[in-house]
Chain A
Amino acid sequence: MDTQQIQQIADRISLNLKAKGVSPDSHSISEKLSLYINEFGVVPFEAERKVLSDQYKQYKIPEEAKPAANQAGDIANIADVQPNDWVTVEAKVVSLQVPNSPAISQSGILADSSGAVRFVIFSKATELPKLEIEKWYRIDSAVVDSYKGVPNLKLHSGSRVTEIEDDRCLVPSEPTKLSDLKPGVVSCIRVKFVDEWESRSERMMQSGLVADESGRMRFVLWQDAEKEKLVPGAVYNIFYASVDEYNGKLSLTLNSAVWLQDEDIEISVPIKSGVSAPKEPLPITTIRNLQVGYASLRVKFVEEWESRSDRMMQSGLVGDETGRIKFVLWQDESKERLELGRVYEIINAKVDEFNGRLSISLNPATYSADESDTDIAVGTRLDEVSGTIVQVSKGSGLVRRCPVDGCNRVLSRQNFCPVHEIQNNFKYDLRIKGVVDDGHRACNVLMNREVTEKLSDMAMDQAIEIASNSPLGLEEIQAELTERLCGRYVKCLGNEFDGRILVKSAEFIHLDTKITAELLNRAGNVQEDDRT
């Protein structure tokens, strides 16, 4: 945030304090705001609340005198309004319709940058001014009705309407895909006029089909002297069309809308949807990275299973460095059986899921034995998990182990081994039993002494010393490890065994600004994303 914006907030705080009879140090207020907002990434309205609250404390102004809620936070986005809400919105009148009943004084569409909604003013609400098209208003205390399940903003005699003088610009949201439409008003769609239908009625000016990448939809334009017909084959950006539902099918009505022809863009309209086999050979992937769909693999045929069905030609396991997977080949005269022990390149196999397990089907694939016969060491690659340490569990830290040769079990508090009973000549060990979570999976990990010492920067000798000087004893080490490691991002390599990764090596993940730049690109690229 630049100094000017910070200064604006600081001025607001100073004004507030002056009203309470104190003369604030506006320089220190700006500095604090800048610290919270710019260095600590606090959202500006929270920084304002915090600094103001601190100032109140400093000048001993009672808490009750604090202003209630943040005014700016109370304005609703039109896209968020729900039936039965009481809302305050700041919106532009983008469309006005001729009321179809004398009980209605005005109806049309209001829009802000989040979306659009129909509105209605009843004739009995005589206090309200007539809204003018293209003007911005702040509307306090409107109530959201629902008409046929679609939110509808009702302005009543208790509502307050204030015209907003500054001519702010309405940034229309990026086009919504036809497949995502819901009944109501859609701010913007980008569509191609693909099919014109003959009008079946005098009242109808034009009807037909429009389409985008996601699908197609029927539209209608009723007679209106101020509207012009659309040109078949052209691409349009259509703003504030009404989406209606009839018999479970959606259609568009364009009378409330405005549209602009877009000559720079061509839209490729889908012929059919659904996951179909890829036309091009997919690049080789690994078994660990497989997902339901289609994939190419380079694998060794490691285990053949007896067929349990006549329809099945062959089944068994294939493997690469990252793991093994079941495959099946159904009866098909054009296919050849695989030879056990050989390496194959399999192009575009189908990947299915059954009971949470993946398997591949070779029938849609093409495959051939690798002539070079370079062997694959199946399943030797280490498992990797990168994520946050979200828990350092009980049993982590300093433990005492049974000294009996080959036992090594962890002793209980009383130095009791479940097999060898009391063992006072125990050996110390340091370990972490924890959970590393990447947001998709919470993975149990076990870190040995070497890994624990390296990550926590606490040698076992130090741990023994800390534990013996603490009233909590061994528990102190678990707390200490939690403090040092919980919440931190790590990358662990090891072997997964019985639902737990035995970590061979681990390191902290460090910030890479290149990744931030890539993500910024992805987040900023709203347009391209909507076209795919």
Chain B
Amino acid sequence: MSAIPNGQFMSYEREPAKRVFAAELREATKTIKDTEDEKSPVFLLLPTGERCNRVLIAGTITQKDKVGDQNIIYRARVSDPTGIFFINASSYQPEAMHQLAKIDTETPSFVVVIGKPNAYTTPEGKTLVSVRAESILAVNQETRDLWIQDTARSTLERVDALLAETPSADVLLARETYHLAPGHWKKMVYDALSRIMPL
């Protein structure tokens, strides 16, 4: 985001949706807030060293539950080749809630989810990451495969930046916070790609 020159209004810039595999998002525990301001966005720092407050994910929906009577929340599980994403949508995300309500989970189907990642720390000290959906849509296999390619490329780019000699502040923070070697993420990418490569 650009700096604010002399208190002028900053033009609103939508945060891009970071492409991230389930096995990486699951490991993210560190949140970043640039200012103390209540409205300042909360970012989740990915182990590969980039911050995000919106993600694009794709995979197979394996479960959907409707929770609550008055304030309905839908919870869903979406699996990619590396792990699972926990998705939720409440009445504050009416569009996503309606879209999710329409999706049948009796038989497997591919979906794309755009949403905000949320890190929650349990009283036992375990951090769980879920995604509050803004949109969830049924897609075909080709779109899912394109997402795996896209996410593989983005992850490899982040790993390269993680190894850079002149690292960004976020990379430094990630190196300090997370202890998985870059090779771990490359192997995850390799495994995910292998699943869409015809033998």
A residues apposed to B, CB below 8 Å: 35-36, 39-43, 46-47, 49-50, 53, 77, 79-80, 84-85, 114-115, 173-174, 176-177, 179-180, 182, 187, 214, 273-275, 355-356, 388, 390-391, 435, 437-442, 444, 482-483, 486-489, 499, 509-511, 513, 515-517, 519-520, 522-524, 526, 529-530
Contacts and interface: CB of A to CB of B under 8 A. Distances in A.
B166 interface: yes
Contacts, number: 181
Contacts of B82: 43
B180 A80 contact: yes
Contacts of B193: 516, 519-520, 523
A487 B19 CA distance: 12
B17 A177 contact: no
Given A40-B110, A43-B79, A43-B83, A487 B135 contact: yes
5 contacts: A41-B195, A46-B62, A182-B175, A524-B190, A529-B186
B2 interface: yes
Tell which of A42, A187, A435 has the most Cβ of chain B within 10 Å.
A42
B189 A41 contact: no
Contact of A46 (B14, B18, B77, B125): B77
A116 to B, nearest CB: 11
Contact of B180 (A77, A390, A513): A77
B56 A84 contact: no
What's the dominant secondary structure at chain A's contact region?
mixed
Given A46-B79, A522-B156, A439 B114 contact: no
Shortest 10 CB-CB contacts between residues of A and residues of B? A487-B112, A442-B14, A523-B190, A40-B60, A42-B79, A523-B189, A46-B79, A40-B108, A174-B183, A487-B137
A16 B18 CA distance: 39
Interface residues of B, number: 71
B170 interface: no
Interface string B180-199: 11111011011001111110
Contact of B125 (A84, A440, A511): A84
Contact of B156 (A85, A214, A440, A523): A523
Interface stretch (B37-45, B67-75, B146-154): B146-154
A42 B62 contact: yes
A272 to B, nearest CB: 11
A403 B95 CA distance: 33
B17 A439 contact: yes
Contacts of B60: 36, 40-42
Contacts of B153: 519
A274 B110 CA distance: 46
B62 A36 contact: yes
